[in-house]
Amino acid sequence: MREDVTTGAALVPEISDPRSRLHDWRGRLERDIRNNWQLYVMILPILVGFFLFRFYPLYGLQIAFKDYNIVAGVRGSEWVGLENFLKFFEDPFFFRVVKNTVVLGFWTLVISYPLPIVFAVLLNEVKQQHGLFKRVTQSISYLPHFVAVVVIVGLMYDFFSSDGIVNQMAVALTGEKWRILGSSAWFRPLYVGSVVWQGVGWGSIIYLAALTGIPPELYEAAIVDGASRWQRILYVTLPGLLPVISVTLILSVSSIVSVGFERAFLLQQPATYSVSDVIATYVYRRGLIKFDFSYGAAIGFFDSVVAFALVVAANYIVKRTNEDREGLW
């Protein structure tokens, strides 16, 4: 209270004075810290860690609008406005990396998104008396999810090599070898195929969970009404999955522009850059390998803005098209 008098705050009605409210708040905070100091001790290292590893790098994002040089550092480098972004739009590789990213992301989405739903529905059709068969199939299907991407790609290099198991089969069937690795025509099928192999089973978990929420009475009623199996899938199973489907769809749309770095980087070879060089790998090569930090940061920033816009747009469209006007937010 003494402080209030010296600053003159006490003369003014308390509620209308923001300074006294601030004082009040500070007083309560100080009391809180005194009483619960252990909680503050706990949270302190967490705040420091998040600041160092998550927030401070955001400050470094400004180099996307600067001409970064190592000597001057992030702060000292010269502002150049949107120059790095304009440079990217005029880059001869701009069209190539954007097209490759979108095409690869598109095919990955179109092929790998629906398959877990199909798999979950088929698994759901397994008879109740064959529960063990269902569980074993499920467990096996999750397994590839735990295999490192570098292992999968490494094995593809072995299986699809000129004397690998796939070409042994090709020779047996057609009498000639296929050139698969290092071939531009094969890159996309290989990429999407490896995503599917790894993700179908794991992706089905969420749908299988949603399916257990469908009351069995619905199926019984459908059977009494004479619905065929196909009709039961179409009118009971799929509507039951629809809420989950709309959420997962929104979340996966942004994957069109954010093709994962690891798989593309490991699977690509300079010979296939015309189809395999995506935004993420281009950022890595230009930004880190060729030390064009500002340029790499600008491209990365551009990519994440587009990804964010796509999620917002997808959410808007889903909200518009379903009756309940329900989206992610």
d(CA 167, CA 121): 34
Residue 199 near another protein by CB under 8 A: no
Of 8, 27, 49, 213, the residue at the interface with another protein (CB under 8 A) is: 49
Which listed range, 9-17, 43-51, 96-104, 235-243, lies at the site for another protein (CB under 8 A)? 43-51
Of 12, 122, 238, 309, the residue at the interface with another protein (CB under 8 A) is: 122
Residue number with CB closer to another protein (57 or 92): 57
Tokens of 176: 């000639």
Which residues in the 266-295 window bind another protein by CB under 8 A?
266, 280, 283-284, 287-288, 293
Residue 32 near another protein by CB under 8 A: yes
Which residues in the 52-71 window bind another protein by CB under 8 A?
52-61, 63-64, 68
The DSSP symbol for 271 reads G
Q: Give the shortest CB-188-to-another protein separation in angstroms.
A: 19
Of 70, 59, 88, nearest in space to 282 by CA: 88
Residue number with CB closer to another protein (5 or 42): 42
Of 22, 82, 209, 238, the residue at the interface with another protein (CB under 8 A) is: 209
Q: Give the shortest CB-150-to-another protein separation in angstroms.
A: 5
d(CA 222, CA 236): 8
Helices 149-159 and 184-203 cross at an angle (nearest 10°) of: 130
Q: Which residues pair with 66 in a beta bridge?
A: 79
- C-alpha to C-alpha distances, 194 to 120, 168, 181, 249, 292, nearest whole angstrom: 19, 20, 14, 20, 32
d(CA 66, CA 295): 9
d(CA 226, CA 230): 11
Which residues in the 214-273 window bind another protein by CB under 8 A?
219-220, 223, 229, 261-262, 266
Residue 202 near another protein by CB under 8 A: yes
Residue 29 near another protein by CB under 8 A: yes
Which listed range, 5-13, 89-97, 154-162, 319-327, lies at the site for another protein (CB under 8 A)? 154-162
Residue number with CB closer to another protein (10 or 214): 214
Torsion, Cα 22 28 34 39, to 10 degrees, reads -90
Residue 329 near another protein by CB under 8 A: no
Does residue 257 contact residue 314 with C-beta atoms inside 8 Å?
no
Which residues in the 89-118 window bind another protein by CB under 8 A?
none
